[in-house]
Amino acid sequence: MTATTLAAPAVGLRELRQARGLSQERVARLAGCSTSMVRQLERGYVPTGSAVLPRVVEALNEEGRSAGNATASETSPDGAGRLRGS
């Protein structure tokens, strides 16, 4: 598989995960992918055609809603409490 550099969708992924108080390992389990894939996404790389990014974003958003441990202004620049593109 080839890798592609992501633009806006991956920006802030690490910050959102940290604001939720989640480890890369926990996000990987929730999203059904490897920890290595979460690391790659946080660095802005993802295999072309991968469906993992939407699953990781949804896992972060679900954990944030259930835990209620971060405010909207802490989790995204637009204040919506969700990663852009989700």
Residue 26 maps to a domain: yes
Whether the per-residue pLDDT at 67 is higher than 50: the answer is: yes
Q: Which of the four pLDDT bands, split at 50, 70 and 90, describes residue 9?
A: low
Number of domain units in the chain: 1
Q: Do 1 and 47 touch, CB atoms closer than 8 A?
A: yes
Read off the pLDDT of each residue in 46-61 and give the average, rounded to a whole number: 84
Secondary structure letter of residue 41 according to DSSP: H
Whole-number average pLDDT of the chain: 74
> According to the model, what pLDDT value does residue 3 have?
57
CATH number assigned to the domain comprising residue 57: 1.10.260.40
Phi then psi for residue 37, to 5 deg, are -65, -40
Q: Do 9 and 84 touch, CB atoms closer than 8 A?
A: yes
Residue 49 maps to a domain: yes
Domain of residue 28, residue span:
3-66
